[in-house]
Amino acid sequence: MTFYLLIILGVLFFSFLPSFHISASPLLLTCGTDSGGTDTDGRKWEPDAKYLIAGADKSAAAKAEVQDPSLPSDVPYMSARIFHSGSTYQFSLQNPSSHTLLRLHFYPSSYPNVDVSKSYFGVAAGSMVLLNNFSAYITAQALSQSYLVKEYYLTPSRSPFLNVTFRPADKSFAFVNGVEVIAAPEIFNAEPLLVGSYVDARTFSTIPVGASSMETMYRLNVGGQFIPPLSDSGGLMRTWYDDSVYIHGAGQGVAVTANVSIGYKKLAPYTAPLDVYRSYRSMGAYVDVNKVSNLTWIFEIDPGFLYIVRLHWCDSEMVKVNQRVFDVIINNMTAAHEVDLFALTDAIATPVVKDYVVVTENVTDGGYRLWVSLAPTNGSRPQFMDVLLNGLEIFKMSDNFETNLAAPNPRISDLMRKGHKMEPKGFEEDYFTIIITCGAGGAAAVGVAVAVICALYRRTRRAGSNGDSRTSWLPISRNSNTTKSSSVVAISTDAASNCRYFSLVEITTATNNFDESNIIGVGGFGKSTNILLDDKWEAKVSDFGLSKTGPTVNKGHVSTAVKGSFGYLDPEYFSRQQLSEKSDVYSFGVVLFEVLCARPALCPDLPQEQIGLAGWAPRNVRLGKLEEIIDPELIKGRISLDSVAKFTDVAERCLADHGGDRPTMGDVLRSLEMALQLQQKYMAGGDDSTISQQIPRDVEESRPNHHENNDPTFSLYVNEQGR
């Protein structure tokens, strides 16, 4: 009796465990070779010829004539099978009742006797159309990639064989470099929630997906590193990519690695590797910012299909309910409301996966974007205003007839098409002008201003330094034929090896003395690390990104998604997404306080009230505590108190909450010139108070927007109206 009881208990125990997948040996084919090969991960690929059951006599093996340095391995990409007529591979399925992962590898390079740019073909797996009129060349160019991997998750077959057919278009040819066939488990929830149907926890719609094949569009290890196929779980040999390039706007959050042990628990190991659940991205500790923002990822997808968005979570920090609660929003529709991961799992460090189905419109005027957002919610008054995500996957479902996954080729932009037709150019003046005007057109003058003021305050401390280190200059373009030159630049070796530094003379020449006709866009000023100084305090402007093309005639601002560096963002720009010339002024004010206080814009290790320089410094100035925040090294040197007061005054006015209360950049420049004159007068032994009496603050603020001083230091570069 005891024996039978043990058997029954054992059966009951194992019935509650998830059905773990024990993968069969995958089939890896490198096409167009007789001997196969081994890739850089140590995986062995075999020749493809014996699997061709039709069209073998109309196919040919070919070797790529050029090896792109971005290729992960010679195998399978440096050899290809060329098809001039319909040809079929046939693969035996070890378990026809299981799903199949099919991967096709394409390297649209140069091959003998064919023009890969004229290759158009279709691919079908059984009755499922995977690709139609597909151009690997156009797709790779549009995505700026040298090679392509198309991954499909196919439904169980009614046949013990899987036939994969390549069919060239008329007067064209097909090709493939590698094929992978892997038995796969059922990885999707049977009926995931339909995005937009959510009303409450009991009212929502679901979509059955069991009969649909899928194409993998994106697979991201959020907040973590690249995971190669050999590090994947369940023998599925998937690749997980970094998510940072898909994050929208400036709010990238923080990437965190768990410091506790992570296990699958109730989750099947093939769902994702544990490395996905060990790292995550959250919003960080800035509560006020988190309340009005979110984490958003944007993806280019094919319109007219259903998509499954799979979110992977594992909260390794929260130890009780209602600590971190957030909403999931997909394409501006609620997918899940008040997600509390601890409430879902009832345990810390427990992985959980949720699938959501999204319906996309069948637009014909270009690409379609899928937005995935996580936003903190305050409805239940959680302890923290934060979100969390560990992994994200997006799958395209076969259409309503369950026979098609093919979509049109992506469109190459006119700019990219023009770029591909251009020959690589050297470091010529016209090319130089185009690149420089993007960044320097709006901010070079103010960069010089901060450089001189910085030099003025730090001259005494640095006078004895012999920072005469020589570093190499690198060309602005990888295609440039310019040889390396040298300049005396007091910049670190790391910076020197990754940047091209431009002097003010170069910028002035390239922009035709800041001619407004050369400006191709407007953008935020930037941060202090965008201003590079050599040992002679000569300013070199770097890394000014373009935020958006210029405003329309009837608008004084540019509406754009928030981009920029936290600590420097104009509050109006952050909240209203309207970029104006006063946004530059705010960012520059932060830089001025960085010079004055000798600290960065954000110091997360300091107490809460001291983290942000833009709030902490003006508050102390208003409380009369300037001497407590100013750099002690400044006080040690010969410094004019009137000059410091003028400098502090303009910095404080730059940080006004409302753009209308901030000075123009022309006013800022005049105030800095005034501070410089005060300091020069003081160092010459004169009475600096006489200068300050000449232009009182109230008079200066009401002065018209033109120079009355015949010898201002930077007046050559000022734009009175702003850009």
- Number of Cβ within 10 Å of residue 494's Cβ equals 8
Q: Are 246 and 226 in contact (CB under 8 A)?
A: no
For residue 567, give the DSSP letter. T
Residue 77 phi/psi, 5-degree rounding, is -80, -20
**Per-residue b or e along 150-181, where b marks 16 or more CB atoms closer than 10 Å to that residue's CB:** bbbbbbebeeeebbbbbbbbeebbbbbbbbbb
d(CA 667, CA 446) in angstroms, rounded, equals 11
Q: Which residues of 421-440 are buried (b: 16+ CB within 10 A; e: fewer)?
A: eeeeeebeeebbbeebbbbb
Backbone φ and ψ of 296, nearest 5°: -130, 135
Q: Give the contacts of 496 (CB within 8 A, at least 6 positions apart).
A: 471, 472, 473, 474, 489
Show the DSSP H helices in 399-428 as ranges. Answer: 414-421
Identify the pLDDT of residue 434.
33
Continuous segment of H or E residues that includes residue 487:
strand 486-488
Residue 687's pLDDT is what?
A: 56
Q: In angstroms, rounded to a whole number, what is the distance separating the alpha carbons of residues 701 and 695?
A: 10
Q: How far apart are CA 214 and CA 721, in angstroms?
A: 55
Parts of the chain belonging to CATH 1.10.510.10: 429-717
Using pLDDT thresholds of 50, 70 and 90, give the confidence band for residue 556: very low
Residues 6+ apart with CB under 8 A from 20: 268, 269, 270
Torsion of CA 582, 583, 588, 594, to 10 degrees: 130
DSSP states of 303-343: TTSEEEEEEEE--SS--STTSB-EEEEETTEEEEEEE-HHH
CA 331, 336, 338, 341 torsion-angle sign? negative
Can you tell me the distance from the alpha carbon of 271 to that of 427, in angstroms, rounded to the nearest whole number? 50
The mean-pLDDT minimum among 262-266, 332-336, 397-401, 691-695 falls in: 691-695
| Residue type at position 196 | G
Residues forming CATH 2.60.120.430 domain(s) in the chain = 27-184, 193-418
Q: What digits encode the pLDDT tens for the residues 453-480?
A: 444 444 434 334 344 333 222 222 223 3
pLDDT tens-digit map of 185-216: 999 988 899 998 877 767 778 888 888 999 99
Q: Following DSSP, what letter does each residue of 540-560 receive, concatenated? A: EE------BPPPPTT-SSEE-
pTM over 0.75: no
The residue type of 180 is E
- Residue 362: pLDDT band (50, 70, 90) is confident
Q: What does the pLDDT read at residue 232?
A: 97
Structural Rg of the chain based on CA atoms: 31
Phi then psi for residue 581, to 5 deg, are -65, -25
Token code pair at residue 37: 């090969």
Coil/strand/helix, residue 597? helix
* CATH code for the structural domain at 193-418: 2.60.120.430
Split at pLDDT 50, 70, 90, the class of 528 is low
Angle of CA points 701, 449, 528, to nearest 5° = 115
Is pLDDT larger for residue 545 or for residue 25? 25
The whole-angstrom separation of Cα 631 and Cα 593 is 10
**pLDDT above 80 (res 552):** no
CATH architecture under which domain 27-184 falls? Sandwich (2.60)
SS3 at position 598: coil
HEC assignment per residue over 363-400: CCCCCEEEEEEEEECCCCCCCECCCEECEEEEEEECCC
The pLDDT score that the predictor gives to residue 705 is 42
Structure-token pair, residue 555? 């608008």
Quote the pLDDT of residue 204: 78
Structure-block tokens of residue 716: 């050559």
List, for residues 57-105, the tens digit of each pLDDT value: 889 999 999 999 899 999 999 999 999 999 999 999 988 889 999 999 9
Asked if residue 426 has pLDDT above 70, the reply is no
Q: Three-class SS string for 146-211?
A: CCEEEEEEECCCCCCEEEEEEEECCCCCEEECEEEEEEECCCCCCCCEECCCCCECCECCECCCCC
When mean pLDDT is compared across 6-20, 113-127, 473-487, 506-520, the lowest value belongs to 473-487
First to last CA, the chain: 89
pLDDT in tens, 103-142: 999 999 999 999 999 999 999 999 999 999 999 999 999 9
From 87, 81, 103, 197, select the one nearest 150 (Cα to Cα): 103
* Contacts with 250 (C-beta within 8 Å, 6 or more apart), sequence order: 562, 563, 564, 565, 566, 569
CATH topology of domain 429-717: Transferase(Phosphotransferase); domain 1 (1.10.510)
